[in-house]
Amino acid sequence: MIFEKPGPANTEATLELAVSAAKERGITHLVVASTRGDTGVHCARRIQGTSLNLVVVAHNTGFKMPGVQEFDPEKKGEIESLGGIVFIGTMVLRSLGTAIRDKFGGSEQDLVANTLRILGQGVKVCAEITAMAADAGLIPIRDVIAVAGTGRGADTAVIVYPQPSNMFFNMKIREFLVKPYDI
């Protein structure tokens, strides 16, 4: 499926497609990007009572300002009460390389991130959150569904064979379930 435009208006349809694909294909894990917790809560509510495992991946503390965490603690509590896991960790394609870029200009991670953005911001985030969840040992190394978006909400879902960040280039995006056309 292709959305004409990116953005949060596509969140419900994206989650519906992701959950349906997981059930049809016997995939047991969903990895979902969520900056403040809204998309994570929507997904946790949607899969409540199923056998699907949910890992919600958020920005690291200090992403925008030192010491500040953007993820709403009440939404974190709701996701966890519904059986999901919220992971707040260092972003694979940001962290130290961003500090190097900001101080000295350019880094290898910018090249990787911008190459993935050719396919869309959501595709870049799907690859990144999958590696982050694998780094933390929160998902198996077998096909999972990753969900992300362009800005807020969700508009991209892919089936991905995950790898930890130190083996990033062994990761395989197997199938695009949905993404925006106008990226």
pLDDT band at 151 (very low <50, low <70, confident <90, very high): confident
> Mean pLDDT throughout 124-152?
95
Centroid of chain to Cα 100: 24
Q: What pLDDT score does 100 carry? A: 65
Q: What pLDDT score does 92 carry? A: 79
pLDDT band at 90 (very low <50, low <70, confident <90, very high): confident
CA dist 78 and 17 (Å) reads 23
Q: What pLDDT score does 95 carry? A: 63
Q: Please give the domain boundaries of the chain with CATH numbers for all domains.
A: 2-60+69-170 (3.40.1380.20)
pLDDT band at 62 (very low <50, low <70, confident <90, very high): confident
> Mean pLDDT throughout 118-134?
95
Q: What pLDDT score does 149 carry? A: 94
Comparing CA positions, the residue from 19, 36, 37, 7 lying closest to residue 157 is 19
Crossing angle, helix 95-104 and helix 108-117, to 10 degrees?
Answer: 110
> Mean pLDDT throughout 112-133?
93
Q: What pLDDT score does 145 carry? A: 98
pLDDT band at 78 (very low <50, low <70, confident <90, very high): very high
First to last CA, the chain: 14
